[in-house]
Amino acid sequence: MNHYRGQLCIMSCTSGLYFTKKILKAVNKKIQKKLHLLDTEEILFANTEIKTILNESIRGKDVFIIQDIENHFDGRSVDENLRALYTVIGACRRCDANYITAVVPSFPYARQDKQTGREDITAARVAWELEGDLGADHIITMDLHNPAIQGFFRSAQIENLRGSQILVPYIKKDIHNPENTVIIPTDLGGAKRANYYAHNLHTGVAFTYKNRNYSKANTIRSMAIMGDVKGKAVYIIDDMIDTATTFCKAMTIAKESGAEEITGVTTFALLNNNAIKNLEKYHKEKILNKLITTDASYLPKDFLQKHKWVEVVSVAEYFAEIICRLNSRQSIGELLG
């Protein structure tokens, strides 16, 4: 007999609504009940202050709050989406929820995880704020840019889900000849991820070396490939594609090294600045075959209809399974890869 943490309750911040609806549908299918999305009101004031009002009681309930921090298609910034999440967590704590879990697929400020000058380690501050006196008991995220961020949490539990759990089976169907396929990370930091993909897909693996210009954001001095990609189908793997500067450079080097076909794979297609324009250019020039990503970061339907070379794999059922197991205090180890 399972000992539940409380009545399961799912709510969403405004920017996480698209993903929340998909998760809720999957949860209802799993538990064979008809849970509804908790009624909340998120108010954005003219000066960008945010507050959230709960229109239903959550006293004693097991609350899961879903937010897509990186969703910029509704015009909100990462900071606004993060503050919106804080207001919901705070409201739930003050309204006596039994257990609060923040579901943030893309962890905010994950790339600011170390100090290289006179600067804040912002990822650590976000972790401490998420688990503060009015904070969450549990965090669910996916493909942390640096898994060591988990060490910043002092009391809240954090579950770092693996996008590869869903992407590997999808890519396996896409690969025609594993012996003529090579997995490449965009830098040496992604070597472990690339090895995991290559091992499970039974393909070859090569590596890129990136010399970054740290005096200017999103700038790379040089890049080189270590390994043979000539005549191969290449899958370039990364946890996120933000401005696509690194990804485009990796494609260029792979093509110059003789790659036959190039497919991009990423958990989070953030696609900021000129990313869409540059990726479209590479696709038209027959360098980029397609980009495989997940719905853990929002891409609108009109965008996907316009850019047919982007394929989205849903991870909503994966998150739903984790939520259901946590609510019923079941093991999730086998789902973490």
Q: Which domain holds residue 127?
A: 8-162+316-335
Task: Domain count for the chain, please give it.
Answer: 2
Question: Both 320 and 261 in a single domain?
Answer: no
3-state SS assignment for residue 44: strand
Closest of 106, 108, 71, 105 to residue 86, by C-alpha: 108
Beta strands in the chain (DSSP E): 8-12, 40-44, 50-54, 62-66, 99-103, 138-142, 157-161, 181-185, 204-205, 207-212, 220-226, 233-241, 261-269, 288-294, 310-313
User: Is residue 99's pLDDT more than 80?
Assistant: yes
Q: Is residue 2 part of a domain?
A: no
The predicted model gives 332-336 an average pLDDT of 91
Closest of 149, 157, 106 to residue 315, by C-alpha: 106
Question: Both 121 and 132 in a single domain?
Answer: yes
Residue range 178-221, pLDDT digits in tens: 999 999 999 888 899 999 999 999 999 999 886 665 556 555 56
Question: Both 154 and 176 in a single domain?
Answer: no
Closest of 137, 135, 58 to residue 96, by C-alpha: 58
Question: Both 121 and 212 in a single domain?
Answer: no
Q: Report the Cα 121 to chain-centroid distance in Å.
A: 20
Question: Both 177 and 300 in a single domain?
Answer: yes
Tell me which of 22, 61, 210, 232 is the catalytic residue. 210
pLDDT at 295: 98
Local confidence band at 88 (pLDDT 50, 70, 90 cut-offs): very high
- Look up the CATH number of the domain holding residue 280: 3.40.50.2020
Q: Is residue 107 part of a domain?
A: yes
Rounded Cα distance, 183 and 297, in Å: 23
pLDDT at 221: 64
Residue range 141-181, pLDDT digits in tens: 999 877 766 776 777 788 999 999 999 999 999 999 999 99
Beta pairing partners, 225: 208
Q: Is residue 257 part of a domain?
A: yes
DSSP conformational letter for 93: H
Q: Is residue 1 part of a domain?
A: no
Q: Clarify whether 216 is annotated catalytic.
A: no
Residue range 101-114, pLDDT digits in tens: 999 999 887 766 45
H/E run at residue 302: helix 301-306
Question: Both 194 and 132 in a single domain?
Answer: no
Rounded Cα distance, 236 and 240, in Å: 11
Q: What is the 3-state secondary structure (H, E, C) of 229-283?
A: CCCCEEEEEEEEECCCHHHHHHHHHHHHCCCCEEEEEEEEECCCCCHHHHHHHHH
The predicted model gives 47-69 an average pLDDT of 96
Question: Both 330 and 209 in a single domain?
Answer: no
Higher pLDDT, 278 or 147: 278
pLDDT at 125: 57
List Cα–Cα distances, 184 to 194, 238, 255, in angstroms: 6, 9, 12
Statement: the pTM of the whole predicted model exceeds 0.85: yes
pLDDT at 8: 98
